[in-house]
Amino acid sequence: MLVEAAPAKLNLALHVRGRRGDGYHELETLFVFARDGDVVTVVRADRPSFAIAGPFAAGLAAEDDNLVLRARDGFAAAFGVDAAHAITLDKRLPVASGIGGGSADAAATLRALARLHGVAGDDPRLVALAASLGADVPACLFGRAAFGSGRGDALEPLAGLGDMPSLLVNPLVGVSTAAVFARWDGVDRGGIGAGDTLARGRAGRNDLQAAAEAIAPEVRGLIEVLAAQPGVVLARMSGSGATCFALFDDMAARDAADRAVALAHPGWWRLATTIA
């Protein structure tokens, strides 16, 4: 049995530069990863099976177009594997929340199958398969801080944040990635500047925030709540929303913010974690 973490993905900054002819958008982004997220378990079995458990299992269906199953079937085709596997997804992250849940789950499935069948994690066929599954899957497969360009899948390694305390919060409002990108105003406001990873993130922005707020007005209030917490270094929406995050100077400030948000907004989802 192999247990593989599928950590939450955050975009410290997300600059949309233009629309591409292939239906995607030209991006510049800073990817970082939390220490916590979903969990994928893979076991050799007599027949294939897929089950979803966890607090957000109801938001997904174990159907053929689930990204985990697409990753499983793509791996079998790419590497000529005919063995059966029983796969369980422990869904701990909200669905359609801007923190790469589905992409992280697919990437974790690929990593687990690669370990099980002796495939190197940087095998070009594995990387190509990840890219075919979605723009964020290569970054989640890489699993470390990176600068992403193109669709977001051209990756350059970056120094991480060294387990910086962070609080992720979602108002439990689903936001469609396609709908948010469709509302982007089409203005290229420039690329991400130079500097260390945190400095680049703080100087950057999320060009999808206005579009997400138009769909889910709760996002603006959420960011305001996080930005007002003592000890905040950066508060921003991740990806296409609606999850927002705050980075903190220390654990005590993060934990105090977690308690304050829980008290003021008990219906919101929260994850107190660190960012590698």
Q: Catalytic pick from 36, 90, 105, 136?
A: 136
CB 198 within 8 A of CB 236: no
Angstrom distance (rounded) from CA 75 to CA 114: 8
Any bridge partners for residue 13, and if so which? 30
- For the chain, strand residue ranges (E) read 2-19, 25-45, 49-53, 84-90, 146-150, 154-157, 164-170, 232-237, 244-248, 269-275
- Residue 223: φ, ψ to 5°: -65, -40
Cα 143 from Cα 204, distance rounded (Å): 21
Using CA of residue 37, residue 176, residue 174, residue 164, what is the dihedral sign? positive
Q: Is 177 in a helix, a strand, or coil?
A: helix
Cα–Cα distance between 13 and 166 in angstroms, integer?
15
Whether residue 91 lies in the annotated active site: no
Q: Is 255 a catalytic residue?
A: no
- Residue 30 near residue 12 (C-beta atoms within 8 A): yes
End-to-end Cα distance, the chain: 26
Give the angle 165-169-174 at the CA atoms, nearest 5°: 145
Q: Which residues have a catalytic role annotated?
A: 9, 136
